Amino acid sequence: MLALASPILSVHARDDGRHANSPLKAWFDQLRSGKGPCCSDADGTAVSDVDWETRDGHYRVRLDNQWIDVSDDAVITEPNRVGRAMVWPIRNYMGTTVRCFMPGSMT
């Protein structure tokens, strides 16, 4: 079986112990969208600029090689302290949805 490389960078925001001393730990812990706390149910992942966009006034993100529409209530509205776009996907038997999405600066 071949494993395909994912276009999503491997930068996780959920605290599994690696980020205990990060100056941004408390900030990540309090992030929430209209769907609730971001780090409570999903791992946050940085997204490359080519893997997120706006279309018709709404965000979309490419996860697992498919574009997923981000509901307006999943968007984090506070300023992005890390600069990169971040997504907290939820994967289950019905597919992939976005719990939280934080737009990046697209630099």
Q: Which among 85, 75, 48, 51 has a CA at the least distance from the CA of 65?
A: 51
What integer is the mean pLDDT of 41-45? 75
Looking at residue 51, its pLDDT comes to 95
13-42 tens-digit pLDDT:
444 555 567 788 888 889 999 999 987 666
Confidence of residue 10 (pLDDT cuts 50, 70, 90): very low
Looking at residue 84, its pLDDT comes to 92
Q: Which among 39, 31, 34, 45 has a CA at the least distance from the CA of 81?
A: 31
Domain architecture of the chain: domains with CATH: 41-107 (2.40.50)
More confident residue, 79 or 23: 79
What integer is the mean pLDDT of 41-65? 90
Average model confidence (pLDDT) across the chain: 81
Looking at residue 40, its pLDDT comes to 66
Looking at residue 9, its pLDDT comes to 37
DSSP string, 19-77: TTT-TTHHHHHH-EETTEESTTTS--EEE-GGGEEEETTEEEEEETTEEEEPPGGGB--
The pTM score is: 0.77
